[in-house]
Amino acid sequence: MTTQSLAEDREIRRITLGHKLNRWDMKVSPYLYISPFFVLFILTGLFPLLYTAYVSVFDWHIIGGQGEFAGAGNFEWVLGQDKFWVALRNSFSIFLISAIPQVILALIIAAILDQNLRAKTFWRMGVLVPYVVAPVAVALIFSNMFGDQYGLVNNALGRIGIDPVGWHSQVVPSHFAIATMVNFRWTGYNALIFLAAMQAVPRDYYEAAMLDGANRIRQFFSITIPSLRPTLIFVIITSTIGGLQIFDEPRMYDTTGAGGASSQWLTITMYIYNLGFGPAGGGQFGRAAAAAWLLFLIIVVVGLINLAATRTIATSGSRSSK
Amino acid sequence: MSKSRRTTAVAAIAGAAAFALLAAGCSSSATPGADDEVTELTLATFNDFGYTDEMLAEYTELTGIKIVHNKAATSGDARTNYFTKLGAGSGLADVEAVEIDWFAELLQYSDKLYDLSNDEVADRWVQWKTDAATDADGRLIAYGTDIGPQAICYRSDLFAEAGLPTDREEVAAMIDGDWDTYFAAGDEFVANSDAAWFDSSGAILQGILNQEEETLESTDGEIIATTNPVVEDAYNTVLDASPELSAQLSQWSDDWSAGFANGAFATMLCPSWMLGVIEGNAPEVEGWDVANVFPNGGGNWGGSYLTVPAQSEKAEAAKAFADWLTDPEQQLKAFVSTGNFPSQTSLYEAEELLTVTRPFFNEAPTGEIFSDRSAAIEVAPYKSVNYFPVMDALQNAITRVDVDKTQDADASWDQFVTDVEAIG
Amino acid sequence: MTATTERPAPISPSRPTAPAHKTSRRARRRAKAIATNKPSTLGYVFLVVVILASLFPLYWSFLIGSGDSSTINKQDVDWMPGGNFLSNAAKVVNDPSVNFWKALSNSIIVSTVVSASTVFFSTLAGYAFAKLKFRGSKGLLVFVIATMAVPTQLGIVPLFIAMSQWLGLSGNILAVILPALVSAFGVFWMTQYLSQTLPDELIEAARVDGASMIRTFWHVGVPAARPAAAMLALFIFIATWTNFFWPFIILDSNNPTLPVALSLLQNNFFIDYSIVLAGVLLSTIPLLILFVVAGKQLVSGIMQGAVKG
């Protein structure tokens, strides 16, 4: 062979080797990148999940330990409890009263923060302050404010001639008060999530729209919302999951953590927790685990519905396709 | 399969295997081994038992054992912690404090607690306290710390405005008798005042039921709350008196705390530990006093125990430590520092106890008062595993009528019956 | 076309679009507003209301924390603070059961490590899910999201078994750090953000230039993820800082995190809220400091994300 073809041979071999390494790199890297997450997750996230699933099919008391195999018995028991359905009703009610205004408000706040404000850092961090205040302090403030006899709110209502509202004794007012607590804590958080996504929308879109004569509102609905679609989906899904699992706020709405004498504000996660750990009739680990998995199913169903709804809303009215 | 995929799969299989192993050998109680060379013991309490660092250092000097003291803020937190670790099979301290409210629930698992029976200390405590801590096999599984004998706390300034006597002895004479006497005094008060007579109907219910032996459960462990005439009578008595006499507050709620400062009620059932609560909630109010009286003599509310979990590997040493902690000498020191009334009978003659007064309550001789009220306690209600859930349902029934006003007495009782059926 | 950091303002809805050739004063003013993207007065007013509402509880906590045990019960609220804040704060710091400084340092360590690790692993995994194609990616992502739907309260017992019995970490702050090193929420968040904001073309360009996967990740993925990563770090830091339940179970009062230590301020049946809220405020101050630092990062990071080719 000539020197040239020898060199060519070497060249070809080098390219092939490099090419092979490259292909191997491409195939393996994704798994390498997600594996740290999954390895840690298996120990600290998956194991508790599997344990809960295992417990749910047994008669299991937290101290007494594993009892007889109960199959679907725990699930049947939970579904037959009035309290379960009342808790479900409460969770949905609080979820709807809180999530809908929260998302809308977060979008509006984000849209304003997106603009060229003075003292940007102040405004942007300012809306996150509620998230920083410890839940115990938030609960103290709000349950105090919404006290039935001596609370600030009823005080103020009395001054303008409205009868005191039973914020703790009635069902819907208690949901409203708790939803206020939840919104207070999470609106700024969601606003910043939207803001991060809004800031990544290329400005040319807005310029083009402006030249076409669209006003701000039109631009918002035609450009911002569709561009936010993945983020909207993210917020709706996390709000659904979080909203149906609301625990801290209703639990601290009064000092007993029982959700009210007629379970006015007992959410489903409170119900599960009280079943498993609660002072009054608790320790029923097997039943609590069953209820937890029922909640899981419900969240998945509702999540899928919300996903479909968001996709429709976010794509309608979109002029530019990404 | 790529390398990392395989790693993930291996990890998954290993995890599942370990999980299966665990599930098979779940929650076994460790057998207490021989304690040779115990150098350290852990103690877990909640609220404030009065076990100061100095006191614990004394024990170290005596025995050479270092004490590590872990505190939880509330009884509820302590309970969750106890049950979690009992369920996990490890992690509990060598000596664990338990409150009477959830003690009955724990009692059914007395095999997970170390036997603390000891003839030498059997007479240390009031009889009913020891009885409550003895399991079905006759093992004493807890040593008593404090109790909550009740007296009546009252607002002498509100009494004065309504034309009632204000002197401690006179008030005692006025209320002395049974519950009807107490309510009659209340009727006279509310006729001449805007304030209510007592703070919470739920508290009165507790007061009445804590004086009966068989209330919500029979001594065989059956739930009899819905059929026991004692219970229904108490329920009706309380709700008959409430419209006129109750401030319609739920104890421990924000409204209740605010009620102290706003003069919402003139008397309340007062266990010894309630004094600190009253003082803290309304430090500017000057009229509080304590009368040495209680309807039907006396009743107990609250109190705690020390237990030694069987999982501890130093159970014998822990038992000795718990013995020392509940010895009258130590308990007296605890009383002096926190005001938690001791359950050790020998202390009821002690000079230090009998001379204690409380400035905020018009220098009331609280040591003497609670000592007398403790002696007047004749009966402790039988409480077993379902006591607390049923009592909770009953309290909810009262709250629905008195505080929330969402149901009338009959409808609320019907719901109580339904709720009780779901228990157990 | 390179977008600049100045962005065109949307046209105010109150004024109709004027034809471009009019050079009236109104048109010139509008042009100026467009050039600087200033929000309307209404926008500012709305923001002020929101901020006031957000800051109100902090102020209320300060009011109570600067009073005494009965301040919280008062019917006529005195909107001026009392003078006790420093003495109440001193009580918190010096209380023997509350290991304040130890708790503070533990909280700082735990929150920093957890947020750094979560952000790193989530960015790595999020990049893979969002931009790399591999078998099972969709299924695995759905699985990760689904795990968020199972309530975690019951997981305390198995987690305790894992941390305390298998690993022997009871009482060690590692037991609080380990379970929080990764977060399904974090992975989901980074996946969404990167799939929306990182164009495939950028990655292609880097690959064509011969960069390996890891180099592409480092030089293209990470800068694009920066704003979201900063946000995630902030959220996770705060959530870890205020977490009570798990640290309470696994640690003890001798080696606590801040919320566990502060909970010990409530005892003896009566809760003196002036001390408790003084403690709450003390524990919030480090977070507020973090805000100022991170806030600037966020603003500059976000702006950088807006510069795109």
- Dist. CA B358–CA A193, nearest whole Å: 56
Q: Is C154 on the interface with A (CB under 8 A)?
A: yes
Q: Give chains near A: 3+ CB pairs under 8 A.
A: B, C
The whole-number pLDDT of residue C144 equals 87
Closest-CA residue of chain A to B102: A279
8 Å CB contact of B259 and A149: yes
A60 three-state secondary structure: strand
pLDDT tens figures, A238-255:
889 889 998 888 988 887
Region C265-279: what's the mean pLDDT? 78
Decide if B47 and C268 are in contact by the 8 Å CB cutoff.
yes
C74 touches chain B (CB under 8 A): yes
Q: Does C192 touch chain B (CB under 8 A)?
A: no
Which pairs from C35-41 meet CB under 8 Å and 24+ separation? C35/C6, C35/C8, C35/C9, C36/A116, C36/C6, C36/C9, C37/A115, C37/A116, C37/C6, C37/C7, C37/C8, C37/C9, C38/A115, C38/A116, C38/A117, C38/C9, C39/A112, C39/A115, C39/A116, C39/A117, C40/C12
Across the interface, do C154 and A31 touch by the CB < 8 Å criterion?
A: no
Please, which residues have CB within 8 angstroms of residue B222's CB and are 6 or more apart in sequence?
none
Structure tokens that stand for B380 in this block:
């402790």
Cα gap A308→A127, rounded to integer Å = 30
The secondary structure of residue B175, as a DSSP letter, is H
Nearest chain C residue to A120 by CA distance is: C299
Cα diameter, chain C: 79
Among A37, A154, A155, most C C-beta atoms within 10 A, so best to mutate, is: A37
A65 to chain B: which residues are within 8 Å by CB? 26-27, 87
CA angle C126, C129, C130 (to 5 degrees): 80
Q: What is the CA radius of gyration of chain A?
A: 27
C305 and A48 within 8 Å at the Cβ level: the answer is: no
Q: Classify each residue of A152-174 as buried b or exposed e, where b means 16 or more C-beta atoms within 10 Å of its C-beta.
A: bbbbeeeeeeeeebbbbbbbebb
pLDDT value of residue C120: 93
pLDDT digits over A96-125, tens only? 999 999 999 999 999 888 887 888 778 888
Residue of C246, C267, C273 to mutate, interface with B, max B Cβ within 10 Å? C267
In terms of CA atoms, which chain B residue is nearest residue C259? B73
List C-alpha distances in Å: C136 to A25, A33, B271, C143, C279.
Answer: 17, 14, 64, 10, 48
Chain C contacts in chain B segment 259-298 (CB below 8 A): 260-262, 273-274, 276-277, 279-284
Summarize pLDDT for B30-72 with one digit per residue, the tens.
Answer: 344 444 678 899 999 988 888 888 999 999 999 999 999 988 8
Name the more confident of B312 and A116: B312
Q: Using CB atoms and an 8 Å cut-off, which of residues 163-222 of chain C contact chain A?
A: 178-182, 184-185, 187-189, 192-193, 195-197, 212-214, 217
pLDDT-derived band of residue B2, with 50, 70 and 90 as boundaries? very low
Please tell me the predicted confidence (pLDDT) of residue C37: 64
Say which range, A14-18, B343-347, C228-232, has the weakest mean pLDDT.
A14-18
Are A63 and B16 an interchain contact pair (Cβ–Cβ within 8 Å)? no
Element (H, E) at B28: none
Nearest residue of B to residue A149, measured between CA atoms: B255
Q: What is the pLDDT of residues C85-108, one digit of tens each?
A: 999 999 888 887 788 999 999 999
Quick one: residue A259, left, alpha or beta (phi over 0 = left, psi -120 to 50 = alpha)?
Answer: left
Of A4-18, A194-208, B3-17, B289-303, the poorest mean pLDDT is in B3-17
Using the Cα atoms of residue A60, residue A66, residue A67 and residue A73 in order, give the sign of their dihedral.
positive
Q: How far does B380 lie from chain A, in Å, by closest CA?
A: 20
C149 Ramachandran zone, left/alpha/beta (phi>0; psi -120 to 50):
alpha
The answer to whether residue C37 neighbours chain B at the CB level (below 8 Å) is: no
Separation of alpha carbons B318 and B96, rounded Å: 10
Name the residue with higher pLDDT: C43 or B203.
B203
pTM value? 0.83
DSSP E strands in chain C: the ranges are: none
pLDDT of residue C236: 92
Which among A177, A170, A184, A187 has a CA at the least distance from the CA of A145?
A177
- SS3 readout for B348-404: HHCHHHHCCCEHHHCCECHHHHHHHHHHCCCCCCCCCCCHHHHHHHHHHHHHHHHCC
Residue B80 with chain A: CB contacts under 8 Å: 277
Task: Give chain B's mean pLDDT.
Answer: 86
User: Residue B134: which H helix or E strand, with range?
Assistant: none
Query: Do C155 and A152 make contact, defined as CB atoms within 8 angstroms?
Result: no
Q: What is the mean pLDDT of residues B123-140?
A: 88
End-to-end CA distance of chain B: 52
Show the domains of chain B with their CATH numbers: 40-147+302-354 (3.40.190.10), 148-299+367-421 (3.40.190.10)
CA distance B276 to C280: 23
Q: Is C283 on the interface with A (CB under 8 A)?
A: yes
The average pLDDT across C129-142 equals 86
Q: Helix (H, G, I), strand (E, B), or coil: what is residue B148?
A: strand
Strand B341-342 and strand B265-271: the pairing is: unpaired
Nearest Cα residue to A236 out of A322, A308, A321: A308
Q: Place C187 in a pLDDT band, splitting at 50, 70 and 90.
A: very high
Interface contacts (A, B; CB < 8 Å): 132
Among A63, A143, A285, which would you mutate to test the B interface (most chain B Cβ atoms within 10 Å of its Cβ)? Answer: A63
Q: A residues 155-214 near C, CB within 8 Å?
A: 155, 184, 188-189, 192-193, 195-197, 199-200, 202-204, 206-207, 210, 213-214
pLDDT at A123: 86
Nearest chain C residue to B23 by CA: give it: C158
The three-class DSSP label of residue C251 is: coil
Residue by residue, DSSP assigns B228-260 as -HHHHHHHHHHHHHHHHHB----TTSHHHHHHH
Q: Given this model, what pLDDT does residue B202 score?
A: 93
Q: Give the tokens for residue A23.
A: 């292909």
If we measure between CA atoms, which residue out of A263, A283, A286 comes closest to residue B385? A283
CATH code assigned to C92-305: 1.10.3720.10
Rounded CA separation B113/B94 (Å): 11
DSSP state of A44: I
Q: Which residue of A has its CA nearest to C281?
A: A133
**Is residue C226 within 8 Å of residue C77, measured between CB atoms?**
no
Tell me if chain C has a CB within 8 Å of the CB of A64.
no
Separation between Cα atoms, residue C256 and residue B380, nearest integer Å: 39
Number of other residues whose CB lies within 10 A of the CB of residue A217: 11
**C27 in A contact zone (CB under 8 Å):** no
Asked if the model's pLDDT at residue A212 lies above 50, the reply is yes
CA distances (Å), A120 to each of A113, C50, C257, C299, in order? Answer: 8, 15, 33, 7
Of A147, A262, A285, the CB nearest to B254: A147
User: Rounded to whole angstroms, how far apart are CA atoms A254 and C30?
Assistant: 53
Which chain B residues are closer than 8 Å to C263 by Cβ? 73, 77
Instruction: Report pLDDT for A257.
Output: 78
Q: Which residues of A touch B5 (CB under 8 A)?
A: 31
Q: How far is B47 from chain A (nearest CA, A)?
A: 16
Provide the pLDDT for residue C162: 82
Strands B288-291, B143-155: pairing is: antiparallel
* Residues B71, C264: C-beta atoms closer than 8 Å: yes
- Does C154 contact A292 at a Cβ distance shorter than 8 Å? yes
A44–chain C nearest CA distance, Å: 5
How close A262 gets to chain C, by Cα (Å)? 23
C41 touches chain B (CB under 8 A): no
Length of chain A: 322
- Euclidean distance between CA atoms A195 and A177, whole angstroms: 27
Longest Cα–Cα distance of chain B, Å, equals: 91
Summarised one tens digit per residue, pLDDT across range C198-220 is 888 888 888 888 888 888 888 88
Candidates C113, C55, A154, C69; CA nearest to B255 is: A154
* Helix, strand or coil, per DSSP, at residue A106: helix
pLDDT, averaged across chain C: 80
Reference B193, options B151, B160, B147; nearest CA is: B160
Paired tokens of A253: 């709405």
Query: What CATH architecture applies to the domain A75-315?
Result: Orthogonal Bundle (1.10)
Beta bridge partner(s), residue B155: B288
Phi, psi of C217 (to 5 degrees): -55, -50
Chain C hits for A51, CB-CB cut-off 8 Å, are 155, 157-158
Find where tokens 């491409």 sit.
A26
> Phi and psi of B197, rounded to 5°?
-85, -50
What's the Cα-to-Cα distance from A270 to each of A90, A288, B224, rounded to whole Å? 11, 10, 28
d(Cα A269, Cα A274) in Å, to the nearest integer? 8
Which residue shows structure tokens 């724990």? B106
Sequence ranges of the domains in chain C: 25-88, 92-305
Give me the residue spans of the domains in chain A.
3-56, 75-315
Query: Which chains share 3+ C-beta pairs under 8 angstroms with B?
Result: A, C
Say yes or no: B72 contacts chain C, CB-CB below 8 A: yes
Judging contacts by C-beta atoms under 8 Å, the chain B residues touching residue A54 are 19, 23
Residues 6+ apart with CB under 8 A from B415: A262, B397, B400, B407
**CB-CB under 8 Å, B418 with A65:** no
Average pLDDT of the residues in A39-53? 85
Show which of residues 7-46 on chain B sit within 8 Å of chain C, judged by CB atoms.
Answer: 18, 22, 46
Put simply, whether A85 touches B (Cβ < 8 Å) is no
Of B246, B296, B242, residue with least CA distance to B267 = B246
Please check whether residue C184 is in contact with residue C145, taking contact to mean a CB–CB distance below 8 angstroms.
yes
Contact flag A213-C17 (C-beta cutoff 8 Å): yes
B87 contacts on C by Cβ (under 8 Å): 157
Percent of chain A with pLDDT over 70: 93
Q: Which residue of C has its CA nearest to B277?
A: C270
> Could you give the CA distance from residue B241 to residue B232 in angstroms, rounded to a whole number?
14
Candidate from A119-133, A177-191, A216-230, C9-23 with smallest mean pLDDT: C9-23
